[in-house]
Amino acid sequence: MFNGAGVAIVTPFNEGKIDFEAFEKLIDFQIENNTQALIVLGTTGEASTQTFEEREKLISTAIERVGGKIPVIVGTGSNSTQVAIENTKQAENLGADGILLVTPYYNKCTQKGLIEHFTTVANVTSLPVILYNVPSRTGVNIAPETVLAMSKVKNVVAVKEASGNISQILEIKRLVPKNFKIYSGNDDQVVPIYACGGHGVISVSSNVIPKEMQHMCQAFMDGNVEEALRIQLLYKKFIDLLFYEVNPIPVKAALNAMGYIKNELRLPLTSMEESNRIKLVDEMKKLSII
Please check the confidence at residue 273 and state whether its pLDDT lies above 90: yes
> pLDDT value at position 142?
98
Mean pLDDT for the stretch of residues 251-255:
98
CA 212 to CA 205: how far, in whole Å? 9
Please write the tens of the pLDDT for every residue from 205-235.
999 999 999 999 999 999 999 999 999 999 9
State which fold the 4-224 domain adopts.
Answer: TIM Barrel (3.20.20)
Mean pLDDT confidence for 3-16: 98
Question: In the predicted model, is pLDDT for residue 10 greater than 90?
Answer: yes
What DSSP state is assigned to residue 272?
A: P
- Whether the CA torsion 71, 245, 29, 63 is positive or negative: it is positive
Comparing C-alpha atoms, which of 6, 51, 20, 42 is closest to residue 247? 42
Catalytic residues: 132, 160
- 84-100: per-residue pLDDT in tens? 999 999 999 999 999 99
Burial of 205 (0-12, 13-18, 19+ CB in 10 A): buried
| pLDDT value at residue 227 | 98
How far apart, in Å, are the Cα atoms of 233 and each of 188, 213, 238, 239, 277?
9, 12, 10, 10, 21
User: Could you give the CA distance from residue 265 to residue 277 in angstroms, rounded to a whole number?
Assistant: 15
Q: Give tens-digit pLDDT for 92-135.
A: 999 999 999 999 999 999 999 999 999 999 999 999 999 999 99
- At a CB cut-off of 8 Å and minimum separation 6, what does 51 contact? none
- In the chain, where the domains are located: 4-224
Does 160 score more than 90 pLDDT? yes
Residue 150 has pLDDT above 90, yes or no: yes
Where would I find the H helices in the chain? 20-32, 52-66, 81-94, 111-122, 135-138, 144-151, 166-175, 190-195, 210-221, 225-234, 236-242, 249-257, 274-286
Provide the sign of the torsion angle of the four alpha carbons 33, 35, 41, 42, taken in this order: negative
Q: Whole-model pTM?
A: 0.97
Q: Could you tell me if 14 and 22 are in contact, meaning their C-beta atoms sit under 8 angstroms apart?
A: yes
Nearest alpha-carbon partner for 273 in 249, 257, 289: 249
Give the span between the Cα atoms of 23 and 33, in whole angstroms.
16
pLDDT score at 274: 98
Q: Give dist(CA 140, CA 124) in Å, integer.
A: 23
Where is the binding site, in residues? Answer: 44, 202
CB count within 10 Å of CB 186 equals: 21
**pLDDT interval class at 1 (50, 70, 90):** confident
From the annotation, which residues make up the binding site for pyruvate?
44, 202
The rounded mean pLDDT for the chain is 98
81-94 and 111-122 helices, crossing angle to 10°:
30
Q: What is the mean pLDDT of residues 144-173?
A: 98
